[in-house]
Amino acid sequence: MKHLVAPSLLSADLNHLGRDVEMINNSLADWFHLDIMDGVFVPNISFGFPLVEAVKKLSKKPLDVHLMIVEPDRYISWFRESGADILSVQIEACKHLHRTVHAIRDEGMKAGVVLNPHTPVGSLEDIITDVDLVLLMSVNPGFGGQRFIENTYEKIRQLKALILKKQSTALIEIDGGVGFENAAKLVEAGADVLVAGNAVFSAPDPLQAIRWLKTLN
């Protein structure tokens, strides 16, 4: 499968959100990536239901929603109603991960699990066949523009080995510090989905940046 690109709206210009969403609609990007932060699980606050709903009305591509919040189970149905197509939860925030994953799927969404940089891949051993996506954070979550953690390559290889061992169909998504200097290496290591924020929205030509990340030319 050709790798996917999901521009992160955390780096978009919220004063011109409609313009940026339309730009992504007209690009080679595959998904919109939205980070939901509550100021508790991570030291930052970002989007809520109104913004997800607004993006859904304009979007021509799936919404990939990452919950960086405590008690994510309370909001699963709300995010489905707001327009999420893929909903990913932090493994560190879930007391009953299997129940949470299946609650997401029961709502008709694809289910993802997210690992922070310090969380080992082995923690997915018993859930990997139940998820559609594993998101590996390659920075500590909470803020955009952080430096990429180099151990991510090894973590991707470990995760790919686990997926093959368990015959899972889960995609591997990478978020944090993804850019032109490491995108090809991430795909080579086994990444299926690249989340890019600053690399896209800070580029002189965002459409060209997305095209480069998609084709890696």
Enumerate the active-site residues. Answer: 35, 175
Residue 33, sorted as left (phi over 0), alpha (psi -120 to 50) or beta, turns out to be: beta
The CA distance from 93 to 55, in Å, is 26
Contact 65, 52 (CB under 8 A): yes
Asked if 33 and 60 count as a contact pair (C-beta separation under 8 A), the reply is no
Helices (H) and strands (E) in the chain, counts: 8, 8
Give the SS3 label for residue 105.
Answer: helix
Residue whose C-alpha is closest to residue 168's, from 137, 125, 135: 125
